[in-house]
Structure 1
Amino acid sequence: MTQRTRLRFNGAAILRGTRQGSVRGLRLGSEHVLQVARSRVPIEEATLERSGTATVDESSLKAAVAFDTPYAVRQHEELNYQHDAGRTAKYLEGPMAEEAAQVAAIIAAQLRRSLR
């Protein structure tokens, strides 16, 4: 006995879904890194901590996490500054490297979700 199966492949819908999943994953992943970085930002009056943002460029599928104060770069790079306990220089570089696997897992989960 012969059994026939017909499969209709809708590539455009799949690409739309994966793109949406990618954007959602990038957004959640960058927010995760921002949250970790905010917990390490040197803090005096919390201005630097509040200046943190996470953005996603949907057209290029790139995410960015940034802190926007006149002294953000100096605080990040100056290893000799004294900071409160738990606060440190390299407050963004550290979380970016340490959380890379978690960010990849977040993006993968959103891609899987978009393909359901």
Structure 2
Amino acid sequence: MSRARLRWNGDDATAAIRSGLLRGLSLAGELTLQATRQRVPIAEGTLERSGAVSVDEQTLTAAVSYDVPYAVRVHEDMTARHSPGRSAKYVEAVLPEVAVDVQAVIAAQVRRALR
């Protein structure tokens, strides 16, 4: 009778997955931010420069935000005129377009962490 020995490193695997996920969330957030910057309306560039990515390690979520007092108004005002290629809903409209890439970036980082 042959014997096999199995060593389960569940805690190490969980830590590696979490680490890869956090890195993936950060990279995916940056990818999304870059895509939104291609659409954000530009007058002086202040709104575009205010864009940032944040990752919440507790909830394992990433957010793209723009931090000027008028960011929400510009995002929501569908009646405003903007330069060609620029539009309201500059974050919301981009999300479906980058979803597959976001998932791929996160998955790649988790795979990389498990090597």
TM-score of the two chains, using structure 2 as the length reference: 0.95
Distance in 1 (CA, whole Å) between partners of 2:73 and 2:111 is: 40
Kindly state the Cα deviation for residue 50 of structure 1 after the two structures are TM-superposed. Answer: 0.3
Distance in 2 (CA, whole Å) between partners of 1:53 and 1:100 is: 18
| Equivalence for 1:96 | 95
Matched, 1:105 2:111: no
Distance in 1 (CA, whole Å) between partners of 2:19 and 2:79 is: 43
Distance in 1 (CA, whole Å) between partners of 2:104 and 2:3 is: 38
Amino acid at match of 1:16: A
Distance in 1 (CA, whole Å) between partners of 2:95 and 2:53 is: 12
Amino acid at match of 1:74: R
Residue by residue over 1:41-79, the C-alpha shift from the partner in whole angstroms, topping out at 9 and shown as x without a partner, is 000110000000000011211111100111111111111
Amino acid at match of 2:29: S
The count of aligned residue pairs is 115
Kindly state the Cα deviation for residue 101 of structure 1 after the two structures are TM-superposed. Answer: 1.3
| Aligned counterparts, 1:55-66, within 5 A | 55-66=54-65
Kindly state the Cα deviation for residue 5 of structure 1 after the two structures are TM-superposed. Answer: 2.5
TM-score of the two chains, using structure 1 as the length reference: 0.94
Amino acid at match of 1:95: V
% identical equivalent positions: 53
- For structure 2, which runs of at least 5 residues remain unmatched after alignment? none
Amino acid at match of 1:69: V
Q: Which runs of 4+ in 1 moved over 2 A?
A: 2-5
- For structure 1, which runs of at least 5 residues remain unmatched after alignment? none
Distance in 2 (CA, whole Å) between partners of 1:59 and 1:80 is: 38
Matched, 1:18 2:55: no
| Aligned counterparts, 1:17-56, within 5 A | 17-56=16-55
Amino acid at match of 1:90: K
Amino acid at match of 1:44: A
Distance in 2 (CA, whole Å) between partners of 1:13 and 1:48 is: 42
| Stretch moving more, 30-39 or 92-101 | 92-101
Kindly state the Cα deviation for residue 3 of structure 1 after the two structures are TM-superposed. Answer: 3.9
